[in-house]
Amino acid sequence: MCASIILNAQKKELISFPTSAEAYSLSKVEKMPMDYFRGKANINIPIYTITVDDVSIPISLSYNTGGIKLNEVSSIVGLGWALNIPGSIQQEIKGISDFSANTLSKDINDYEKYRGITLTAKTDLENHKKAEDLEAIMENAYDTKPDIFNFNLPTISGAFILQNNNAGSFILKKDELKGFTIPNEDVIIDIDKGRFHIKDSKGIEYWMGSKSSVSSYYNYKISQNSTSHAIENIKINDKFISFVYAKKNVYKEQNSVEVANLKFSVDPAGSYYKQPPLLKYEKKPSYTISADNLINKIEFDKGEIIFLYSDDEGMNFSDGTKYRKDLEGNQGVALRKILVKNKSGDIIKDVTLNYSYFDNTNTDKTYEDYRLKLVSIHDNLQNNDYKFIYDEEFSFPRRNSNNDDYWGYVNSLGGDKGTGIPLNYTSNTNAQIPVVDYGQLVRRGREPDGKYVKIGSLKSIQYPTGARKNFYYELPSSTITNNNGKKIAYYLNDRLEIASIQSGLNDMGGRKDFVLDDSIYQKVILLIKKQKLEI
**Residue 260 — φ and ψ, nearest 5°?**
-110, 120
The answer to whether residue 184 is domain-embedded is yes
Looking at residue 438, what DSSP letter applies?
H
Which residues make Cβ contacts (< 8 Å) with residue 272, sequence separation at least 6?
none
Please say whether the dihedral angle defined by the alpha carbons of residues 344, 464, 385 and 74, taken in this order, is positive or negative.
negative
3-state secondary structure of 471: strand
Q: Helices (H), strands (E): how many in the chain? A: 4, 28
**pLDDT of res. 8:** 35
CB atoms within 10 A of CB 428: 7
pTM of the model: 0.78
Quick check: is 370 in a domain?
Answer: yes
Give the residues of the chain that fall short of pLDDT 70.
1-40, 100-130, 132, 134-142, 164-176, 226, 415-417, 425-436, 476-499, 504-510, 513-535
Q: Is residue 534 a part of any domain in this protein? A: no
| pLDDT for 306 | 98
Number of domains in the chain: 1
Residues 6+ apart with CB under 8 A from 219: 257, 284, 286
Residue type, 219: N
What does the pLDDT read at residue 26? 26
> Are 471 and 498 spatial neighbours (Cβ–Cβ below 8 Å)?
yes
Residue 137 has what pLDDT?
66
Residues 6+ apart with CB under 8 A from 332: 249, 251, 323, 324, 326
pLDDT in tens, 471-489: 888 776 544 444 444 443 3
- Rounded to whole angstroms, the Cα distance separating 316 from 294 reads 17
Give the dihedral sign, CA 149/152/154/158: positive
pLDDT of residue 169: 42
Phi, psi at 447, each rounded to 5°: -75, 150
pLDDT at residue 488 in the model: 36
pLDDT of residue 25: 24
> With helix as H, strand as E and coil as C, how does 251-271 read?
EEEEEEEEEEEEECCCCCCCC
Residue 213 placed within a domain: yes
Indicate whether 440 belongs to any domain: yes
Residue 346 pLDDT = 98
Task: Count the alpha carbons within 13 Å of 437 in the hemisphere toward its beta carbon.
Answer: 16
Q: What is the pLDDT of residue 517?
A: 54
User: DSSP letters of 288-314?
Assistant: EEEEEEEEEEEEETTEEEEEEETTSTT
With respect to residue 134, please indicate whether it lies within any of the assigned structural domains: no
Cα–Cα distance, 282 to 534 (Å, whole number): 19
Q: Which amino acid, 520?
A: I
Instruction: List the domain range (segments joined by +) for residue 91.
Output: 2-106+144-268+277-525
Task: Let me know if residue 428 belongs to a domain.
Answer: yes
Residue 194: the pLDDT is: 81
HSE-CB at 43 with a 13 A cutoff on CA atoms is 24
| Residue environment code for 409-419, b if the CB has 16+ CB neighbours within 10 A, otherwise e | bbbbbebeeeb
Whether residue 532 is contained in a domain is answered as no
pLDDT in tens, 412-459: 998 666 788 888 765 555 555 666 677 778 888 888 888 899 999 999
CB 414 within 8 Å of CB 403: yes
What per-residue confidence (pLDDT) applies to 418? 76
